[in-house]
Amino acid sequence: MVKSLFRWGAFSLVAGILILQLVPYGHDHTNPPVKVEPKWDTALTRELSVRACFDCHSNQTIWPWYSNAAPASWLIQHDVEEGRQRLNFSEWDRPQRESRGAARQVQRGEMPPRSYIVLHPTASLSADEKQGLIQGLQNTLGSTGTAEGH
């Protein structure tokens, strides 16, 4: 009886996961063309931004294998869509609503999120790298947090 219940539960779980894959959201892994990047203060600032920010805040997202499997694909798709809306380093020709707070969010430890760092250890910045990114973002985005009126 217990084995039968266990088998039925395992079967139901696998079937449920397979059915989740039919939901169309989370499979649009397009990377629109890069239009304009900010005028980076240094190559190092850009390099640190690529490591810690670009997957969600640019049109150069690297989509890992698990971004194709629901429900992880839903969360990743949502995070990329929201990240690109708030701050997109690949579309610097349009207003960037979060550009003023970028350095501050890094300084507070809000960005990159811990959940992202767990799956992307290269995004984990040393204290010196973090300080360099903060200073570089401030320099790149200007003292008001904007670059060329963004």
Give me the phi and psi of 8, to 5 degrees please: -65, -40
pLDDT at 16: 61
Domains of the chain: which residue ranges? 26-141
* 98-105 mean pLDDT: 91
pLDDT at 102: 93
- The more confidently predicted of residues 149 and 99 is 99
List all residues 6 or more positions away from 26 whose beta carbon is below 8 Å from its beta carbon: 67, 70, 71, 73, 74, 75, 76, 77
- The SS3 of residue 128 is helix
> Tens digit of pLDDT for each residue in 28-82?
788 999 999 999 999 999 999 999 999 999 999 999 999 988 888 999 999 999 9
Task: Please report, for residues 53, 60, 130, the alpha-carbon distance to residue 30 in angstroms, rounded to integers and kept in the order given.
Answer: 17, 9, 29
| Burial class (CB within 10 angstroms; exposed 0-12, middle 13-18, buried 19+) of 147 | middle
Q: How confident is the model at residue 150 (pLDDT cuts 50, 70, 90)?
A: very low
pLDDT at 29: 86
Q: What percent of the chain is predicted at pLDDT more than 70?
A: 83
At position 5, the amino acid (one-letter code) is L
* 108-116 mean pLDDT: 94
